Amino acid sequence: MCLVALAWKSHPRWRLLLVGNRDEFHARPTAALAPWAHPSSILAGRDLQSGGTWAGVDRRGRCALVTNVRDPMAAAAAALSRGALPVDFLQGTSSAGRHGRSLLASSSHYAAYNLLLVDEDGCEYVGNHPQEHAAIAPGIHGMSNGGFDVAWPKTRRLCAQMQSWLESGAYDPTPLWAALADEQVADDSELPHTGVVVELERRLSAAFIRGPHYGTRASTLIAIDYQGRGWISERSFGADGRFTGETTLRTR
């Protein structure tokens, strides 16, 4: 993922509500959201180049997702794919907290990442640029290529839109899809400085990125209730933001 907003234990029905966009090169081979054959408990899209995923859930209602880190000081290459991090959690049996702590010893084996791990007891953040592990308090939080709860303009907007949706008491997710489709570009005075030219920084400041070679490939909504039941829904996009399909799967 590249942009995420989540509400943790902040809704009367849903223990976890999560919305996010995955931005990637359109040429990178990808399989859309589907039940995995191996391991069969995982419901996720799949990066066919490295075999991992950007976001997924399992049949027990646990969730994991990862972003990269856009920072000129971040290590660009490492031996292991970041996409393996959500898979390792979802196919295992450790709690989110225990699994998060265990990753600290191996964090340098991966390029810079932000990782969320969620189970029935906890919502955990793990990062390796800088190395960090923290339990997430109930409330609305955002994550992007800048880190966890780092106030990039598009992260602030998405969190504010989720807050408004929660306060409205709505159950229809249409406004959340609309928030993920927002193409508003940030003012230059609000742009982060991540080592790319300002023209690209502007384009990347939108929640939904439209382009012939690079852009938003998937928008994802996840809703898990307090018994671990729920769903994951994904909309897929091709070059220039062309809609290519939508899939919804239930955890149970």
Per-residue confidence (pLDDT) for residue 179, from 0 to 100: 98
May I ask the CATH class of domain 3-250? Answer: alpha beta
Identify each DSSP E strand in the chain by its residue range.
Answer: 3-8, 14-25, 30-35, 42-47, 55-58, 63-68, 113-118, 123-128, 131-135, 139-144, 147-148, 214-225, 230-237, 243-250
What is the mean pLDDT of the segment spanning 114-124? Answer: 97
Of 61-75, 173-187, 228-242, the range with the lowest mean pLDDT is 61-75
pLDDT of 44 above 70: yes
Percentage of residues of the chain with pLDDT beyond 70: 98
pLDDT band at 171 (very low <50, low <70, confident <90, very high): confident
pLDDT band at 170 (very low <50, low <70, confident <90, very high): confident
pLDDT band at 78 (very low <50, low <70, confident <90, very high): low
Nearest 5°: CA angle at 239, between 237 and 243? 30
Residue 69 and residue 115 in contact, taking contact as beta carbons nearer than 8 Å: no
Per-residue confidence (pLDDT) for residue 33, from 0 to 100: 98
Of 22-26, 67-71, 131-135, the range with the lowest mean pLDDT is 67-71
CA 84 remoteness from chain centre:
14
Q: Which amino acid does the sequence have at 115?
A: L
- The secondary structure of residue 189, as a DSSP letter, is G
What is the mean pLDDT of the segment spanning 202-228? Answer: 98
Burial 102-137 (b: 16+ CB within 10 A, else e): ebeeebeebbbbbbbbbbeeebbbbbbbeeebeebe
Q: What is the pLDDT of residues 174-203, one digit of tens each?
A: 999 999 999 999 999 999 999 899 999 999
d(CA 174, CA 165): 10
Residues in contact with 209: Cβ distance below 8 Å, sequence separation at least 6, in sequence order: 21, 23, 183, 203, 215, 216
Of 29-38, 70-79, 88-97, 150-159, the range with the lowest mean pLDDT is 70-79
Q: What is the pLDDT of residues 132-151, one digit of tens each?
A: 999 999 999 999 999 999 99
pLDDT band at 80 (very low <50, low <70, confident <90, very high): confident
Instruction: Write down the pTM of the prediction.
Output: 0.96
Per-residue confidence (pLDDT) for residue 46, from 0 to 100: 97
Residue 50, Ramachandran bin (φ over 0: left; ψ between -120 and 50: alpha; else beta)? alpha
Question: What is the β-pairing status of strands 243-250 and 230-237?
Answer: antiparallel
pLDDT of 76 above 70: no
Of 113-117, 138-142, 193-197, 209-213, the range with the lowest mean pLDDT is 193-197
> Which of 30, 29, 87, 81 is closest to 56 using CA atoms?
87
